[in-house]
Structure 1
Amino acid sequence: MLAMFHWARWLGIAGSTSKYYWKLWGMALIFVLTVVEIGAIWKVIKALAGWAASTSGHRSVTARLAGATLYANAVLSIILCWKLSSSWQRIVDFWIILDRAMVTSRIPTDKNLMKKFSGIKKFFIFCGVAEHMMGIISFVGVDCPPSLWLEKYILISHGFLLRPDEYNIWFGISLMILSMVATILWNLQDLLLILITLGLASRYRRLNKYVATVCSQNKKEMDKSNDLDILQMYTWRKIREAYVKQAALVREVNNLVGPLILLSNSCNFYFTCLHLFLGITQGISDTSLEQIYYLLSFTWLCIRTSLVVLSAADVNVCSKDALPYLFEYNTQTYNLEIYRLQYQLRKDFVALSGMGFFFLTKSLLLQMGGAVVTYELVLIQFDSTDYNLTNTTAY
């Protein structure tokens, strides 16, 4: 994670330990993105108030609102990731203390965790670059002259912000860079959440594996003695304290990443609804490049959203995975500490949340799917109603 934050400085995410020039770069990037966001909001206001000269195609209200949402997400993402980077050392210190305590309790390490981290990072980089490059190619087309490539791309992707007569080469280069930064930040915030939740879930799996080992060993020990009772009480007390500290770690991390979870899920939910709405009401373009880009972009968005929710929901699932071992525990060696641990795991609800507005559990993915379908039906109904009223008036 520290290596991730180290490379994220190029995107304006400077932690508290970064040099002053990285912080200046981050503040400059926030300022420029904020200026673009203010311009995008002003374009939305003009379209809604009827002051805009054109509200069709890439200058429609939907396109303007989508552009304003993308750059708003970029500004908030830098601020929240900056806060996460600045406070991460405090989480690291707490994490290390717990890991050392777990080592003394002979809890095994997760040897596959780094491989998972590396695989997910490579997967995000490959899919993110492929989706963005496919978007550029679909906007520009294969028959566009190289001299007009940048102008055509900017006027299509940022038609909500610029008219053709307002374009110049410097605006084009600046918006090209800023759009890439905004897209990378959108992917980065999801990647950070996935990596953090993978680490939390891994620690729970290590605890659960240790509980399973202790339970299987105690099943073989049928002869009881006072010394064995004392040893088992001590062992289970240490296990229960480890689960208490793990729950405290999850809540500490949740206090830090809660705003980022809310931002990530809100942005992903909005663009999922937008993709479906445009695909249903306007249809997919006849050109094969735009069809491929639409399917690729929508698929990648759904995969990212699902990975964020499921990886975070895994923390909630793993927090109760030790209960079956405790329920099947040998009654001859059952003691008070096992009862306390059993009660603690059943009653203590451990899950990451978006600032308390929702909890990331497996049921949330189904709830989001149901909400997307509901919103799509409402939007399509309003869209068809407006279309019928327009036709009736014209007639």
Structure 2
Amino acid sequence: MTKDKKIKINQNDSTLLQQPFYDEFLQTMTNMIHWSRWVGVAGSEGVVWKLWGFLLLCLLLAIEGQAIWKVIKALAGWAIDMRGHRSVTARLAGTMFYSASLLCLIQCWRLSCSWKEISKYWASIEWTLSIQYVPRDKTIRTKMYKTVFFVATLSSVEHLLDMISSFDFNCQLSLCFRTFFLKSHGFLILEHEYSDWIAVLVFITSIMATILWNLQDLIIILTSMGLSARYQRLNEGVKIVTTKNNKEEKSNKDREFLKVYMWRKIREAYVKQSMLVRKVDNSLGTLILMSAFFNFYFICVQLFLGIASSDPAASVNQIYHAVSLSWVCIRTGYTVLAAAEVNKTSTLALPYLYESSAQYYNVEIERLQKQLSRDYVALTGMGFFYLNRTFVLQMAGAVVTYVLVLIQYDDSETVVPTNSTLTT
């Protein structure tokens, strides 16, 4: 038997079961988890990759500790320089960025360790979805790779603009990297603290931190796509079965028995699918909570800096803030809407059930209706909130509120980072 073939049972049976050789989503997601070892997410990989992950974790901890100390010094009034990229706002933003990356590394490592167990459970219920009338989603792999390419491309553009905004094209060639680093990481290191080898380590770690920051949203998006695809398959199966039943004119007891049995299998498939969503939510809940919190914070900061900045000479910075704000908003919206699709698709089969002919209506269809209408299925942020489509509007309202508060208490002379106030 070849890899593309499937094990079939009773080809004429309306309750045909098929066991796919592999699941496209699981295979693609496993590859993503495997590739993430390059940014320190070792999971259950070999010793070399775990050492690399541990080294990156130590670097992030060291940078985060130094960033927190700089914030404390600024708040206590001990800081030597509080201008531009060394203001309280800039120091806090840098601290939050590395906090997000550090926590993301820990949570992604934890998810990577538990992924084998999740994938086994995911594959174990594939039998339930392998009903004759439930088609396979052959486009899920393509959609996932397109999403990875989209996120990787836009995040690279945003990071490149960030580097350009901190680069001084008029400096001497031998001092270019020093000038660039003191502008981009002025919240972390002062001029008299600068060292080439420290700057190189921090620069490499910052690139890894940027990848990790985008990786957390990418994992949520891809996992949500897999869950939504399974619901869409079930919904399509319900549509096909309902349409076929409504077209039948004659019936007999044997056929009715098979229909009741089929609807029972479909209802059990929905039960196991909701159990799968909750199991995945237990593993992703912390990552979702962190993603929502840090994305909300950086949207507020970038929007605040874009509105409050009034230096006409800092056109590159303004372009960067506009692009960065747009990208964070797009990525956050994409993440929330992808996760909200799980909640939306979990009830899309109800209209088809309501269209069932009264002649073929049975107790299993009635149970499935009650189950879909009463069981609220959605990904959550550790149970604090549900990721549905109204959550986007709630975040937008909260962003506007907090940005207005920040502008009201803004002191533009000491808070807003501009090139003219930088000490290099």
One-letter amino acid of the counterpart of residue 249, structure 1 = L
> Is 2:341 the counterpart of 1:314?
yes
TM superposition shift of 1:386: 11
Identity %: 50
In structure 1, the residue matched to 2:228 is 201
Tell me if the contact between 1:154 and 1:175 (Cα under 8 Å) persists in the aligned partners: no
Aligned to 2:100: 73
Structure 1 residues 168-317: aligned runs within 5 Å = 168-283=195-310, 285-317=312-344
Structure 1 contact 105–238 (Cα < 8 Å) conserved: no
Structure 2 counterpart of 1:2 = 30
> Counterpart of 1:7 in structure 2: which amino acid?
W
- Whether the aligned pair in 2 keeps the contact of 1:200 and 1:315 (CA below 8 Å) is yes
Q: Distance in 2 between matches of 1:284 and 1:116?
A: 42
Residue 392 (structure 1) aligns with: none
Question: Contact 2:128 / 2:268 at 8 angstroms: preserved in 1?
Answer: no
Q: Which amino acid is 1:256 matched to?
A: S
1:143 Cα deviation from its structure 2 partner: 3.7
Cα deviation, residue 384, structure 1: 6.8
Q: TM-score, normalised by structure 1?
A: 0.94
Q: What SS does structure 2 have at the residue aligned with 1:383?
A: coil
Counterpart-to-counterpart distance in 2, 1:329 and 1:314: 25
Q: CA RMSD in A?
A: 1.7
Q: CA deviation at 1:131?
A: 1.1
Alignment map for 1:1-395 (pairs within 5 Å): 1-16=29-44, 18-283=45-310, 285-383=312-410
Mark the runs of 5 or more structure 1 residues left unpaired by the alignment. Answer: 388-395
- SS of 2:356's equivalent in the other structure is coil
Q: TM-score, normalised by structure 2?
A: 0.88
Compute the displacement of 1:385 (Å): 12
Distance 1:285 1:188 in 2: 34
* C-alpha distance 325-369 of structure 1, shift in aligned 2 (>3 A): same
Task: Classify the secondary structure of the residue corresponding to 1:55.
Answer: coil
Give the C-alpha shift of residue 277 in structure 1: 1.1
| Structure 1 residue 168, shift from structure 2 partner | 1.8
Match for 1:121: what amino acid? V
Deviation per CA, 1:130-153, whole angstroms, max 9, x where unpaired?
Answer: 111111112104444432221122
Shift of 1:104: 4.2
> Is the contact between residue 308 and residue 412 of structure 2 (CA under 8 Å) also seen in structure 1?
no
How many residue pairs match? The answer is 386
Q: Cα distance, 1:282 vs. partner?
A: 2.3
Secondary structure of the 1:140 match is coil
Code of the aligned partner of 2:229: S
Q: In the alignment, is the contact (CA less than 8 A) between 2:85 and 2:187 conserved in 1?
A: yes
Give the distance between the partners of 1:127 and 1:385, measured in 2 at CA: 30
Classify 1:283/1:342 alpha carbon distance in 2 versus 1 (closer, same or farther; 3 Å): farther
Structure 2: how far apart are the matches of 1:285 and 1:47?
27
CA distance in 1, matches of 2:276, 2:134: 17
Question: Cα distance, 1:45 vs. partner?
Answer: 0.6
Mark the CA change 1:307 to 1:284 in structure 2 (over 3 Å): closer, same or farther. farther
Alignment partner, residue 18 of structure 2: none
User: Contact (CA 8 Å) 1:222, 1:332: kept in 2 or not?
Assistant: no
The 3 A distance-change label for structure 1 pair 320 and 39 is same
Partner deviation per Cα, 1:292-332 (whole Å, 9 max, x = no partner): 22221111111100011000000000000001111121111
C-alpha distance in structure 1 between counterparts of 2:382 and 2:366, whole Å? 32
Letter in structure 1 aligned against 2:152: I
Contact 2:133–2:240 under 8 Å retained in 1: no
Q: CA deviation at 1:286?
A: 3.4
Q: Deviations over 1:166-221 (max 9, x none)?
A: 11211221111011011110011111111110000000000000000011001101
Q: Tell me how far apart the structure 2 counterparts of residues 328 and 284 of structure 1 sit (CA, whole Å).
A: 62
**Deviation of the 1:156 alpha carbon:** 1.0
Following TM superposition, by how much is the alpha carbon of 1:262 offset from its aligned partner in structure 2, in angstroms? 0.6
CA distance in 2, matches of 1:141, 1:310: 39
2:238 maps to amino acid: V
Measured against aligned partners, the alpha-carbon deviations of 1:57-83 in whole angstroms (never above 9, x if no partner) come to 110000110111111111111110001
Per-residue deviation, 1:382: 2.5
- State how far apart, in whole Å, the 2-side matches of 1:246 and 1:132 are: 38
Residue equivalent to 2:24: none
Higher relative contact order (CA 8 A, sep 6+): 2
CA distance in structure 1 between the partners assigned to 2:412 and 2:310 by the alignment? 18
Measured at CA, do residues 357 and 245 of structure 1 come closer, stay the same or move farther in structure 2, by a change above 3 Å? same
Greater Cα shift, 279-288 or 81-90 = 279-288
